[in-house]
Amino acid sequence: MMFINWGLEAVKWQYLMSNIQPVSFGKAYKAIFAGQAFAFNTVNSVGEFLGRMFYLDDGNRLRSISLTMVGSLSQLIVTFIMGIAGLVYMRWFMFSPSVLKPYGLSLFWLQGLTVILTAVTIFLLLLYYALSWVITIVEKIPFISKYVYLIQKIEELHAKQLTRILLFSFLRYVVFVVQYLLLLSVFHVNGNMISLAWLVCVKFLVLAVIPSIAMAELGMRGEIGVQLFGLVSNNIVGIIFTTVGIWLINRMLPAVWGALLILRVRIFKNKE
């Protein structure tokens, strides 16, 4: 499912790049992995656009950054929406005050966190669909006007296109959750499947909110996994193995493959 996951991301990026340069699916797929090589050493994968630029023409590389960020924003919005839904599920269907108390939580704080995150998500969603309007305003700022060509293509993204990008992000998110559930099953972390699925969503939300670097985040991922899935299962070893497995499949292996692809591109360019 790793290939389906990154395949969906490749389709999304290919669709976004069509605004500046036609990109084949094969090249988009390679670009996604190259991006992971850079993302692996940057906070919350913000550097992924650097690797993707290797597969674009020189004149389009800087222009691709803003469009790549639109794709990342769509993924973040989906992560927030699903994570908030997970928090709501936890509140109403899983836990009582007595269960949350040992973890230093309360229903009051859980509800407060949900309200704050919902407000942030609504803001991001409104911003996402108002990007063309925002760019129009930004273009009028004097010291930014000379760089406006870098973000101008965002104006051409209409609501239908933005919704399609969100759909790609949602499908990819579903693959993330299924991957996690499959590994939890493999390592015998038993529990109600629906509860586990929503806990996975909450974990992705936490990882999106907390700044981290993929190369050093394994311990944090393990701790978050133990705290969340430990609420429904005593199989701590299985939870840790699942966390490590997801990290290897979705972070480490793509980063290694991406690094090899970048090395190959540079070697061929040097020969030319």
Distances from the Cα of 182 to the Cαs of 101, 176, 179, in angstroms?
Answer: 30, 10, 5
Q: What is the pLDDT of residue 213?
A: 66
Distances from the Cα of 243 to the Cαs of 179, 207, 238, 246, in angstroms?
Answer: 11, 12, 9, 5
Residues 249-265 have pLDDT tens digits of: 988 898 888 888 887 76
Q: What is the pLDDT of residue 264?
A: 75
Q: What is the pLDDT of residue 223?
A: 84
Whether residue 102 has pLDDT greater than 50: no
- Nearest Cα neighbor of 27 from 4, 10, 51 is 10
Domain range summary for the chain, segments of one domain joined by +: 2-271
Best-predicted range by mean pLDDT (36-40, 72-76, 111-115): 72-76
Is the Cα dihedral 65, 67, 71, 74 positive or negative? Answer: positive
Two tokens, residue 184: 């939890």
Whether residue 110 has pLDDT greater than 80: no
Mean pLDDT of 10-18: 93
Whether residue 104 has pLDDT greater than 50: no
Residues 173-218 have pLDDT tens digits of: 999 999 999 999 999 998 889 999 999 999 999 888 887 665 567 7
